[in-house]
Structure formats: structure tokens, C-alpha cells
Amino acid sequence: MLLFVNACLRDQSRTERLARMWLDRRAYEGGVVTLTLADSTVEPLDAAGKSSVELYSRGVGSGDFSHPLFDYAKQFAQADEVLIAAPIWNYSMPAKLHAYLELVCSQGVTFDVGDAGAYVSLVKTQRLTYVTTAGGLQMEPGDDHAFGYVRTLAQRFWHIPRVDLVAAWGLDAPGADVEGLLEDALG
């Protein structure tokens, strides 16, 4: 199963379009499951309520992951491949995607800590692709708080060997050939 995490929040999203173009080319045959974050129950971990850090810590501490808070992490752990689509927002990603990743990073579900303190992956996926578009020009590596952050999680927590970026830059420049830029991004 390929898990498509759609973190695009605008009608006519160019990032979603690029992700769907990528999916067409990928022609994945194992079935695609789409998680549309805009329609999801994802909320950031909070002091209280149904996404409280206390509930999260209780589950992680006891190993009882029956609370729905952990459903996103369980789904992620079972995916054979992951595609994430999100626009660049303020050199980073929409907060909704950050909140989702907070839930996915549940120790005991998607990763664990080994005896020597090293992270042990609990996910199946061997490939993660991050699709993004930006209004402005390509970011300097030190300014990238989107793909760089996801790549750190993918490599450090989940040991995913193949982590790719597919990005179209400069979409909001006057007179930009948006379709051409999206095509170019696919290589």
C-alpha cells in the first residue's frame, strides 16, 4: 500500500496537482490510500483534550496504543511506500502536516529506542517522496525547514533508505509557466 499524505489546503492546489502527476508516473500497483489532512482529525499535541500530550505519553509509556491518537502512526508504519505533498509555507510546511508528523512519531509504533540508545525503525516503508511547490526561488539548504525536517525523521527515526524531493520553485513569479515548472519538477 502506498500512503499518500495530502497536506495541500488550497482549492486548485498546484502541489496536489504535482503529486498526482508524480503518482501517475509512478504507476504504483499495490494500491494507493489517500489521507487528506484537511478532512482529518489531526490536531497538534496539546495540554488537554483528545490530543493531549498526557494521552500520548501514557500510550508510549505503557505500550498500549489502543487510543485513536495512535491510528495515524499505525497506518504510517504499515505503508509500503509514502508520498507526502505539502506547499512551502514560511520556509516550512503547513502546521497541519507538522501536527500529523508529531503523531506519526510515536515511540513504540514507528520507531523505538534500542539498548544502546540508538533509534530502531518500526516502519515497513523503504521509500518516501516529498512533493512541494513554492512561490519563490529555491531555498538555501540552511533555510529549508520542510523537506530537511522530513528527511531527518525519515533517516534517523525510520531508517528509510530512499528519501526523495520533488519540487517546483518560482510558481508565483509574474508570468510563471506553472505547467512547465510542474513538468520540469518531475525530471
Ligand X SMILES: Cc1cc2nc3c(=O)[nH]c(=O)nc-3n(C[C@H](O)[C@H](O)[C@H](O)COP(=O)(O)O)c2cc1C
For 40-93, give the DSSP string: S-----BSSSTTBHHHHHHHHHHT---SGGGHHHHHHHH-SEEEEE---BTTB-
The distance of closest approach from Cβ of residue 39 to ligand X in the complex, given in angstroms and rounded to an integer, is: 16
37 versus 77: smaller Cβ distance to ligand X = 37
Asked if residue 102 lies in contact with residue 46, where contact means CB atoms within 8 angstroms, the answer is no
6 versus 107: smaller Cβ distance to ligand X = 6
64 versus 143: smaller Cβ distance to ligand X = 143
Q: What are phi and psi of 126, to 5 degrees?
A: -110, 0
Q: Could you tell me the three cell numbers for 57? A: 505519553
The distance of closest approach from Cβ of residue 42 to ligand X in the complex, given in angstroms and rounded to an integer, is: 18
* Closest residue to ligand X: CB criterion: 136
The distance of closest approach from Cβ of residue 1 to ligand X in the complex, given in angstroms and rounded to an integer, is: 24
CA distance 62 to 82: 28
* DSSP conformational letter for 15: H
| Contact footprint for ligand X (CB under 6 A) | 8, 10, 13-16, 87-91, 133-136, 171-172
114 versus 175: smaller Cβ distance to ligand X = 175
The distance of closest approach from Cβ of residue 88 to ligand X in the complex, given in angstroms and rounded to an integer, is: 4
10 versus 50: smaller Cβ distance to ligand X = 10
The distance of closest approach from Cβ of residue 99 to ligand X in the complex, given in angstroms and rounded to an integer, is: 16
Q: Could you tell me the three cell numbers for 36? A: 487528506
State the distance between the two ends of the chain, measured CA to CA, in whole angstroms. 25
